Amino acid sequence: MIWIRCLAYAWASPYTLLGLAIGLALRGQVRLVAGVLEIQGPGVAWLLVRLPVRAAAMTLGHTVLGQNRRQLERTRRHERVHVAQFERWGVLMGPAYLLASLYQPLRGRHYYRDNPFEVEAYAVEMKPLKKDDTEQTNNRVR
């Protein structure tokens, strides 16, 4: 279903373009990994440590900004969940994520750790890797 994949890319494209623009403005190095643009470098790291939640990496559509290549590899499973979320939510992802973060403190919860988008990503990140997962990821990384 190639057309569904094309729709997913188009639906998330405003964020992908934003991530690419930020990464290039910060002189990041761009690499295509399994259909996702991974951008890293000192400029990107400078930005990520100044976010409200200090981040090793951050996803915008089909772009993942990372402090460096090692951090991109370490956070890949987590960030790919966010890529899938951008594919589902598209242009609504930013407001949905923000509202979810703002709502959590009203329930006495943490704005980041209890955000359902993060809960989903951490659940996948913590799941033990199956042999097929490792091979699939390695085969698609160039």
Judged by CB under 5 A, the residue of 7, 22, 121, 129 near Zn ion is 121
Q: Concatenated DSSP letters for 66-88?
A: ESSHHHHHHTHHHHHHHHHHHHH
Specify the stretch interacting with Zn ion by CB under 5 A; choose among 42-50, 86-94, 113-121, 124-132.
Answer: 113-121
Separation of alpha carbons 138 and 142, rounded Å: 8
Q: What one-character DSSP code corresponds to residue 120?
A: H
Report, in Å, the least distance between residue 83 CB and Zn ion.
11
Minimum Å distance from CB 1 to Zn ion?
A: 27
Question: Count of alpha carbons within 13 Å of 60, Cβ hemisphere only?
Answer: 14
The residue among 113 and 140 lying less far from Zn ion, judged by its C-beta, is 113
Q: How many residues bind Zn ion (CB under 5 A)?
A: 2
Q: Please, what is the minimum distance in Å from the beta carbon of residue 82 to Zn ion?
A: 6
Report the residue closest to Zn ion, judged by CB.
121
Torsion of CA 70, 67, 28, 21, to 10 degrees: 130
State yes or no: residue 60 binds Zn ion (CB under 5 A): no
Would you tell me which residues interact with Zn ion (CB under 5 A)?
A: 118, 121
